[in-house]
Amino acid sequence: MRGGAERLGEYTYRWDETCFPLGPDSLALGEFCTLKKGDRVLDLGCGAGLLLLLCKRREPSVSLYGVEIEPQAARLARENLAENGLAGEIANADLGTAELPPAELVVSNPPWYDQRSGKEGGPGRMESCTISQLCAAAGRALAHRGRFAFVHDPKRLAELMTALRGEGLEPKRLQFCRHSPEKEPYAVLAEAVKGGRPGLAVLPDRIGNT
């Protein structure tokens, strides 16, 4: 079974073919999302818990929760937390039916592509829920002024903005990721606030693979 282990500062991240390896889009989202002391962080489609480890590395006071539909990936997420001496709750469930814990910050790096594209958004993983379903799950978990930060396909930006506003999540920050200045963006980072006022800050592009 394909897999590996990566160092994230003081933490070790282990993954297999059911999960995302350490990649530039997850690293970018881990740095981009707005973290505050004591936040309850919920990762929708958490895989083996990479984003949870990245958030904990940035702000040790946060508490960690994850939802993952793939049983093996959910098991690995629990193991990654335990092996790094971290507390957290990982639910093996579908986002559409899961009972989501309340959170101040929801994060997600979902598989980006649907079955029609013929592409994969992660190792062996196709998009298992629509953008609308993802935003609806975030909206259910967040209280007023809670934040939803995610990374996705920039070609689907119009769909993303529509879905966010449809769930009362106002887009507030946006950043495109490029491998080099002359390349088209390979990902877009976005953060929305539940019940936020209109006003979108577009940050300078993130250049490079880390």
pLDDT digits (tens, 9 = 90+) for 48-101: 999 999 999 999 999 999 999 999 999 999 999 999 999 999 999 999 888 999
Query: What SS3 state is found at 61?
Result: coil
- pTM for the structure as a whole: 0.91
Beta strands in 58-128 (DSSP E): 63-68, 89-92, 103-108
CA distance 206 to 160: 19
**For the segment 149-169, what is each residue's pLDDT rounded down to a tens digit?**
999 999 999 999 999 999 999
Question: Containing domain of residue 149, as a range?
Answer: 3-207
The enclosing domain of 120 has a CATH number of 3.40.50.150
Q: Which residues in 145-168 are b (16+ Cβ under 10 Å) and which e?
A: ebbbbbbbbbeebeebbebbeebe
- Predicted confidence at residue 115, as pLDDT, reads 40
- Residue 147: the pLDDT is 98
Average of per-residue pLDDT across 104-125: 62
- Number of domains composing the chain: 1
Burial 103-142 (b: 16+ CB within 10 A, else e): bbbbbbbbbbbeeeeeeebbbebbbbbebebbbbbbbebb
List the beta strands (DSSP E) in 82-197. 89-92, 103-108, 142-152, 169-178, 187-194
Tens of pLDDT, residues 8-17: 999 999 999 8
Q: Check pLDDT > 60 for residue 122.
A: no
| pLDDT tens-place string over residues 195-204 | 999 999 999 9
Phi, psi of 126 (to 5 degrees): -100, 165
Using DSSP's 3-state secondary structure scheme, residue 137 falls into helix
Residue 24: helix, strand or coil by DSSP?
helix
Tokens 């990479």 correspond to: 50
% of the chain surpassing 70 pLDDT: 90
Q: What is the pLDDT of residue 17?
A: 84
- 128: pLDDT strictly greater than 80: no
DSSP letter for 124, please.
T
